[in-house]
Chains A and B, each alone.
Chain A
Amino acid sequence: MSEQSAAGADGSGRPSGRLLEVDDLRVEFRTRDGVAKVINGVTYHVDAGETLAVLGESGSGKSVTAQTIMGILDTPPGFVTGGEVRFHGKDMLKQSAEQRRRIRGEGIAMIFQDSLSALNPVFTVGFQIAEQFRIRRGLSRSDAKKRAIEMLDQVKIPNAKGRFSNYPHQFSGGMRQRAMIAMSIALDPEVLIADEPTTALDVTVQAQIMDLLGELQRERQMGMILITHDLGVVADVADRIAVMYAGRIVEEANVYDLYRKPAHPYTLGLLNSIPRMDEKGQELRTIKGLPPNLMNIPPGCAFNPRCPMAQPVCRETVPPLLQLGHGRASACHFAEELVNRD
Chain B
Amino acid sequence: MGRYLLRRLLQLVPVFIGTTFLIYWLVWSVPGDPFAGKCGDRGCPPNYRAMMTEKYHLDDSIWVQYASYMKNLFQGDFGITFGGREISDIIATSYPNTLKLAVVALAIEAVIGLGAGILTGLRRNGFLDNLVLVSTLFLIALPVFVIGFVLQWVLGVKWGIINPTVSNEMRFSELIVPGFVLGSASMAYIARVARTSIAENRRADYVRTAIAKGLPMRRVVGVHLLRNSLIPVVTLLGTDLGALMGGAIVTEGIFGINGIGRQVLRSIVTKESATVVGIVVVLVVVYLVMNLLVDLLYAALDPRIRYE
Surface stretch bound by A, among B112-120, B192-200, B214-222, B255-263: B214-222
Give Cα distance in the complex from A117 to B216, angstroms. Answer: 21
From B214, B217, B224, give the contact of A120 (CB < 8 A): B224
Contact mask for chain A residues 107-135; partner B; CB cutoff 8 A; 1 contact, 0 none:
00110101001111111100000011001
Q: Are A122 and B301 in contact (CB under 8 A)?
A: yes
Q: Are B216 and A135 in contact (CB under 8 A)?
A: yes
Give Cα distance in the complex from A269 to B224, angstroms. Answer: 43
Chain A residues within an 8 Å CB radius of B206? 117-121
Task: Categorize the interface residue count of chain A.
Answer: 20 to 34
From A102, A104, A122, A131, give the contact of B302 (CB < 8 A): A122
Q: Are A131 and B213 in contact (CB under 8 A)?
A: yes
Chain B residues within an 8 Å CB radius of A123? 224, 227
Q: Are A104 and B204 in contact (CB under 8 A)?
A: no
Chain B residues within an 8 Å CB radius of A124? 303
Task: Tell me, yes or no, whether A105 is within 8 Å of chain B by CB.
Answer: yes
Task: Tell me, yes or no, whether B42 is within 8 Å of chain A by CB.
Answer: no
Give Cα distance in the complex from A31 to B304, angstroms. Answer: 35
Task: Tell me, yes or no, whether A225 is within 8 Å of chain B by CB.
Answer: no
From A104, A120, A183, give the contact of B228 (CB < 8 A): A120
Q: Are A104 and B216 in contact (CB under 8 A)?
A: no
Task: Tell me, yes or no, whether A90 is within 8 Å of chain B by CB.
Answer: no
Min CB distance B303 to A, Å, is 5
Q: Are B213 and A118 in contact (CB under 8 A)?
A: no
Beta-carbon nearest neighbor of A107 in chain B: B214
Task: Tell me, yes or no, whether B211 is within 8 Å of chain A by CB.
Answer: yes
Q: Are A169 and B219 in contact (CB under 8 A)?
A: no
Beta-carbon nearest neighbor of B227 in chain A: A122
Q: Are A105 and B301 in contact (CB under 8 A)?
A: no
Chain B residues within an 8 Å CB radius of A103? 214
Most A CB within 10 A of own CB, among B205, B216, B227: B205
Min CB distance A274 to B, Å, is 30
Task: Tell me, yes or no, whether B209 is within 8 Å of chain A by CB.
Answer: yes
Most A CB within 10 A of own CB, among B203, B208, B228, B304: B208
Q: Are A132 and B303 in contact (CB under 8 A)?
A: no
Chain A residues within an 8 Å CB radius of B209? 112, 118-120, 183
Instruction: Provide the main secondary structure of the chain B interface.
Output: helix
**Given A120-B224, A121-B302, A135-B219, also A104-B208 (CB < 8 A):** no
Most B CB within 10 A of own CB, among A117, A120, A131, A167: A120
Min CB distance B32 to A, Å, is 55
**Given A117-B204, A117-B206, A123-B227, also A101-B216 (CB < 8 A):** yes
Q: Are A101 and B302 in contact (CB under 8 A)?
A: no
From A105, A112, A131, A187, give the contact of B208 (CB < 8 A): A112
Give Cα distance in the complex from A74 to B199, angstroms. Answer: 13
Min CB distance B100 to A, Å, is 33
Q: Are A183 and B213 in contact (CB under 8 A)?
A: yes
Q: How many chain-B residues does the 8 Å CB contact rule pick out?
A: 22
> Which residues of A in the span 155-195 have a Cβ within 8 Å of any Cβ on B?
167, 169, 183, 187
Chain B residues within an 8 Å CB radius of A187? 214
Chain A residues within an 8 Å CB radius of B215? 101, 131-132, 135-136
Q: Are B227 and A74 in contact (CB under 8 A)?
A: no
Give Cα distance in the complex from A305 to B171, angstroms. Answer: 78
Chain B residues within an 8 Å CB radius of A118? 205-206, 208-209
Min CB distance B207 to A, Å, is 8
Beta-carbon nearest neighbor of A117 in chain B: B205
Q: Are B228 and A121 in contact (CB under 8 A)?
A: yes
Min CB distance A99 to B, Å, is 11
Give Cα distance in the complex from A8 to B198, angstroms. Answer: 45
Chain B residues within an 8 Å CB radius of A263? none
Contact mask for chain B residues 172-211; partner A; CB cutoff 8 A; 1 contact, 0 none:
0000000000000000000000000000000111101111
Task: Tell me, yes or no, whether B212 is within 8 Å of chain A by CB.
Answer: yes
Give Cα distance in the complex from A110 to B215, angstroms. Answer: 13
Chain B residues within an 8 Å CB radius of A112? 205, 208-209, 212
Q: Are A72 and B205 in contact (CB under 8 A)?
A: no
Q: Are A104 and B303 in contact (CB under 8 A)?
A: no
**Given A119-B209, A120-B206, also A105-B304 (CB < 8 A):** no
Min CB distance B226 to A, Å, is 10
Task: Tell me, yes or no, whether A270 is within 8 Å of chain B by CB.
Answer: no
Give Cα distance in the complex from A138 to B182, angstroms. Answer: 45
Give Cα distance in the complex from A117 to B302, angstroms. Answer: 14
CB-CB nearest 9 A-B residue pairs: A104-B214, A105-B214, A117-B205, A120-B206, A118-B205, A167-B303, A118-B209, A110-B212, A105-B213
Q: Could you tell me which A residues sit within 8 Å of B by CB distance?
A: 70, 72, 74, 101-106, 109-110, 112, 114, 117-124, 131-132, 135-136, 167, 169, 183, 187
Q: Could you tell me which B residues sit within 8 Å of A by CB distance?
A: 203-206, 208-217, 219, 224, 227-228, 301-304
Q: A118-B206, A131-B213 are in contact. List 12 more A-B contacts (CB 8 A).
A: A72-B211, A72-B212, A101-B216, A104-B211, A105-B214, A117-B206, A120-B210, A120-B228, A122-B303, A123-B224, A124-B303, A132-B215
